[in-house]
Amino acid sequence: MNTKLSSIDFTADLSAGIEKHPCFNKEASKHYGRVHLPVAKSCNISCNYCHRDYDCPNESRPGVTSGLLLPEDAVNRIYEVKKLFKDISVAAVAGPGDSLAEPLNTMKTFELVKKEFPEIILCMSTNGLNLRENLEELREKGVNFITVTLNATDASIARKIYRYVNYNGIVYTEKDAAEILLDKQINGIENAVKMGFTIKINSVLIPGVNDFHIKDISDKAKKLGVYLFNVMPMIPAEESYFYKMGVSGANRKDVANIMKGIKGINIMEHCRQCRSDAAGLLENDLSKEVSEREENLICEFKKMPY
């Protein structure tokens, strides 16, 4: 949905609930859990640390497969999770592909969840390519919190991270891919902030590729009015391009060292690099128990056709 900025009401407070959001508020993570609803199958870009047999490593740990849910089953998933842990404050779509590559399932899921659980905070992560054109609808559905994975702000670095970008059916590669993705990400974040969404940026730390560039990303995040900055160590998915090329992953210590130089923005230090079907407290993932209780998973993620 395309909406002119002039027609948007900028007065809405979309930070409501931050005191109960386990990712945006470390204290809240001790008491409140989140549930990820794995309804977004496809992706529209190709990150070199990703392999599409696995979850999106931008907001999840590669190397684990998940079942997919239909939007109609998302409400039931939340009831199942609540049987195991009742204080679920957030429901989110975080893959296993990109939440906005085919936004229909994501939007339908938010609609159904909001109707059944009006008190639950809605959250979403995305690579940002299709963010701008979906902002108005996300707000209509009641989403307040959005995470965008931004791994570079410079096209010469971004082109080493992405193999292709498919925007509106046109496939871009190399510098063109990097430029269009960066342009859409920055524009999406800028407008989301203006509309009052609470935004987190996730950056995947890739040794030798963007480690020296994290400060530039944080500076850009500050300028854009992003609320929270989260740097995650890259864990290259098996069979991914980086994995095959021998690009080594990073670890928490690498992240801590880089973050010493980052000032002037809220930093997330308690990220668990969750699965796209994670459930419960960040510290205690219940996804395995939940999927064992359900019979309505479409099929194993690995078997889904792309």
Binding site for ligand CLF (CB under 6 A): 23, 34, 36, 59, 90, 92, 94, 123, 125, 145, 147, 200, 230, 271-274, 282
- Beta-carbon contacts of 99 under 8 Å, excluding residues fewer than 6 positions away, are 40, 93, 106, 124, 125, 126
User: Which does residue 43 touch among ligand CLF, ligand SF4, none (CB within 5 to 8 A, set by kind)?
Assistant: ligand SF4
**34 vs 160, which CB is nearer to ligand CLF?**
34
* Closest CB 116 distance from ligand CLF, rounded Å: 18
Show the binding pattern over residues 84-123: x = contacts ligand SF4 (CB under 6 A), - = does not: -------------xx-------------------------
User: Which does residue 273 touch among ligand CLF, ligand SF4, none (CB within 5 to 8 A, set by kind)?
Assistant: ligand CLF
User: Which does residue 301 touch among ligand SF4, ligand CLF, none (CB within 5 to 8 A, set by kind)?
Assistant: none
**6 vs 168, which CB is nearer to ligand SF4?**
168
User: Which does residue 97 touch among ligand SF4, ligand CLF, none (CB within 5 to 8 A, set by kind)?
Assistant: ligand SF4
Query: DSSP per residue over the chain, as a string?
Result: ----GGGS-TT--BTTTGGG-TTT-TTGGGT-EEEE---B---SEEETT--TTS--TTSS-TT---B---HHHHHHHHHHHHHH---EEEEEE--BS-TTTSHHHHHHHHHHHHHH-TTSEEEEEE-STTSGGGHHHHHHHTEEEEEEE---SSHHHHTTTEEEEEETTEEEEHHHHHHHHHHHHHHHHHHHHHTTBEEEEEEEE-TTTTGGGHHHHHHHHHHHT-SEEEEEE--PPTTSHHHHHT-----HHHHHHHHTT--SSEE--------TT-EE-TTS--HHHHHHH-S---SBGGG---
User: Which does residue 57 touch among ligand CLF, ligand SF4, none (CB within 5 to 8 A, set by kind)?
Assistant: ligand SF4
* Closest CB 59 distance from ligand CLF, rounded Å: 5
* Closest CB 39 distance from ligand CLF, rounded Å: 13
Selected from 25, 29, 66, 127, the binder of ligand SF4 by CB under 6 A is 127
* Closest CB 246 distance from ligand CLF, rounded Å: 26
**91 vs 186, which CB is nearer to ligand CLF?**
91
The footprint of ligand SF4 on residues 5-64 (CB under 6 A) is: 43, 45-47, 50, 56-58
* Closest CB 184 distance from ligand CLF, rounded Å: 19
C-alpha to C-alpha distances, 156 to 183, 210, 213, 304, nearest whole angstrom:
13, 10, 11, 34
Residues within the interface to ligand SF4 (CB under 6 A): 43, 45-47, 50, 56-58, 97-98, 127
